[in-house]
Chain A
Amino acid sequence: MSRPHQRRTPEEDLCTRRTARSTSSSTATCTTGTRARRTGWPATRTTPRAGSSASTPTRDSGPPETHWSIEHFQKYSEDDLMKDVFEDGYVDVAVFQPTYLKEWYTEGFNTTERNGALSEKHPGKFVVNTRWDPREGDAGLRELEENVKRWGSTGVKLYTAEWREGSRGWTLKDPEAYRFLEKSQELGIKNIHIHKGPTIWPLDKDAFDVSDVDHAATDFPDLNFIVEHVGLPRIEDFCFMATQEPNVYAGLSVVIGGLMHARPRFFAKVMGELLFWVGEDKMTFGSDYGIWEPKWQIEGFVDWDYPSDEFSDYPRVTTDTKKKILGLNAAKLYGIEVPAELQLGAGAGTPAAQESAVGVSDVGAVV
């Protein structure tokens, strides 16, 4: 299926693309595909069936020419990453999310240390986030502190559905989690990325409920909660919650990679709903690199608009909207300096303002 391309002047086009280049994009936010239903999202090229070439949402979530072989997917190199993300992928600064999953990967899938080591080889390219797990108790608190000191982390990535020694997960509502949130704040962490949506096999049944984010966001108003994958496909709970919490953001990882190409109409609806309930100042792009490359996602989103008039009662998407989503909002969250010429023009609005929780104010537009 093809999407109509938005018409822009060459200058606008260049500016938007450079905006994407100039700021940040999260990478490695999601690690492996799965087929879990309801909470799950089919990631591309993770479990190919030999000999099958049927067109499905599972394998064709990205354009065919961007598909990797399973061998490449299972082991891609540092050079691949640097080329795909920074040379070809328009990214200037990447927010690097760690993923431990030590029940399945003895040494972790990608740990803070490994990401940090890569970052030291390529100064200025990565924001090294860390993670914590409340079930690790005092030792976990110490490790968090060490990681923050060693790598200068200002963000964490959390997986409430991670298995650990017989436990199938945890919630942000747990008193132990509150200890870690307090410690995070004390250590200067600003951004809490929390994985809600696509599941990584095998995860527990209720672990993607977003109500725990609601509690924590209310009790920690100075922390930002970026809900990665926005609870897809069950987005309504997230939308209602985000509307009420000024410090909750929509992390678009998987939203763009998983839907824009494969399910353009659903993508348009999801974007329309997020723009309505959450607002363009609180949406951030994420590439999910290793599952998808950022290049086609960014190019596609720069060119994107609603596919038909059927979507006319959703908020409009402007070049400024895209600049904010592709970089300026994340740059603000992480204090990344954006060259003056790539910022929004005068009077175009301030990205990532907490008071911009929308949804209710312009709701009269519906009827």
Chain B
Amino acid sequence: MIDRGQVLEALGTVRDPELDESVTVLGFVSSCTVTGDEVDVRLRLPTYFCAPNFAYLMVADAFDAVNRVEGVRRTTVVLEDHFASDAINGGVAARAGFVASFDGEAVDELEGLRRDFLRKAVLAGTDLVCRPLVAAGRTPEELAVMTLGDVGLSREVDRLRSRRRDLGLPADDTSALLVDVVTGEAVGVEALPLHLRKARVTGVSVGANSSICRGLLQERYGAGSRLASVGGGAEEEL
């Protein structure tokens, strides 16, 4: 018998690549049913027309995450109520890839997209970590020589490190606090003010997107419709 809590934990590692938030926290998991060694997951999104590339990534990631849970023999992940549900569900189940799933409508697989949005997540995370430092009076000269280890422990720093690791950027205690999100090189003192401005506008954008998506999801499915067991541990019907 599979532990449903473990399955939900695994789903919790799946993020919306653009909003940089877990699909369970966002309310995108509408049900998770465990029957013996089989798991059935239903996903839903804020709109019928959510971009299919992001949707595909989330469905595929959910499939992989659940499949990795020990003892799971059969995984089904179904995206519901979406204009491309059939193409996405079929494509993920067959492990066909995005291009094959959208024959004639897509030219690239989605790893480039994922990296682009991870870079945005690193920038937005940099804003969260650095804005308080700037507000506390840190100068560009000081920030330019600070390391990740210098900023102490917080949820924001953990998250920033995690995203940097995902991108293959340096993320240990001795790594520069501010790095170029493409090269991983430390940001020099002269480029630093603009780097922080870019981090901030990226944070504004991610925050806006997130707020819109949450609002639309609530509008679409109602405030009380989040999967009760996420964070609460209640069982859903099998």
Contacts and interface: CB of A to CB of B under 8 A. Distances in A.
Interface of A: 34-42, 54, 56-58, 168, 199, 201-202, 204-206, 232-236, 239-240, 263, 266, 269-270, 273, 276-277, 359-360, 363-364, 366-367
B51 A56 contact: no
A359 B193 CA distance: 11
B226 interface: no
A57 B211 CA distance: 10
B216 A42 contact: yes
Contacts of B175: none
A232 B192 CA distance: 26
Contacts of B139: 367
25 contacts: A34-B49, A37-B45, A37-B47, A37-B50, A37-B54, A38-B209, A40-B47, A40-B49, A42-B212, A56-B219, A57-B215, A57-B216, A168-B105, A204-B105, A205-B105, A206-B53, A235-B208, A236-B120, A236-B205, A266-B204, A266-B207, A363-B194, A366-B193, A367-B139, A367-B196
A322 B87 CA distance: 48
Contacts of A266: 204, 207-208, 211
A204 B106 CA distance: 10
A234 B205 contact: yes
Contact of B204 (A36, A201, A269): A269
A35 B193 contact: no
B212 A35 contact: no
Contact of A277 (B45, B49, B201): B201
Interface in B29-60: 45-54
A273 B201 contact: yes
Given A34-B49, A36-B50, A37-B45, A235 B205 contact: yes
A367 B133 CA distance: 10
B221 to A, nearest CB: 12
Contacts of A235: 201, 204-205, 208
A58 B216 contact: yes
Contact of A36 (B47, B205, B219): B47
Given A233-B209, A236-B120, A364-B193, A38 B51 contact: yes
Interface residues of B, number: 41
Given A56-B215, A57-B212, A38 B18 contact: yes
- Residue among A201, A205, A360 with max Cβ neighbours from chain B (10 Å): A205
Contact of A367 (B134, B202, B211): B134
A36 B211 contact: no
A67 to B, nearest CB: 16
Contacts of B193: 363-364, 366-367
Nearest to B54: A38
A33 to B, nearest CB: 11
A37 B46 contact: yes
Given A58-B216, A234-B205, A367-B140, A38 B198 contact: no
The 6 closest A-B pairs by CB, nearest first: A37-B50, A36-B49, A35-B47, A233-B208, A236-B201, A57-B215
A36 B50 CA distance: 5
Given A266-B207, A367-B193, 14 more contacts: A36-B47, A37-B50, A38-B213, A41-B212, A58-B215, A168-B105, A204-B105, A234-B209, A266-B208, A269-B204, A269-B208, A273-B200, A273-B204, A277-B197
B86 to A, nearest CB: 15
A252 to B, nearest CB: 15
A42 B48 CA distance: 13
Contacts of B202: 236
A96 B7 CA distance: 55
B62 interface: no
B46 A205 contact: no
Nearest to A268: B204
Contacts of B138: 367
Given A35-B47, A37-B47, A266-B208, A367 B201 contact: no
A285 B192 CA distance: 32
Contacts of B50: 36-38
Given A205-B52, A263-B211, A266-B211, A363 B197 contact: yes
Interface in B180-226: 192-194, 196-198, 200-202, 204-205, 207-209, 211-213, 215-216, 218-219
B83 A37 contact: no
Contacts of B218: 56
